[in-house]
Amino acid sequence: SEIGLIKDLSSVYVGDNEFIGTIPSGIWELSKLVVLDIDNNLLSGTLPSELGRMTSLTYLTVEINKLTGTIPSEIGLIK
């Protein structure tokens, strides 16, 4: 998705917006992302293993959504 083209993006704050659908796949391509706040929406789907590639990520909040599945073990790759 287009958001993945913004390579220097460091923070995404889109909580409390009632967004519906899945998390855009381009999010997982943002290697410089430090903050990902997508809580309190209506997002569905799962957190993919690509989450482990986000090695700059220090803050992640996804609660109060309709996500399913387990937390991928690759999250342990994040420092």
What was the pLDDT predicted at 4? 82
Average pLDDT, the chain: 92
Per residue in 2-12, pLDDT (tens digit) is 888 898 999 99
Alpha carbons 55 and 75: distance in angstroms, whole number: 9
Alpha carbons 64 and 38: distance in angstroms, whole number: 9
What was the pLDDT predicted at 78? 81
Alpha carbons 79 and 66: distance in angstroms, whole number: 26
Report the 10 Å Cβ neighbour count for 75. Answer: 14
Smallest CA-to-CA distance from 18 within 40, 3, 49, 37 is with: 40
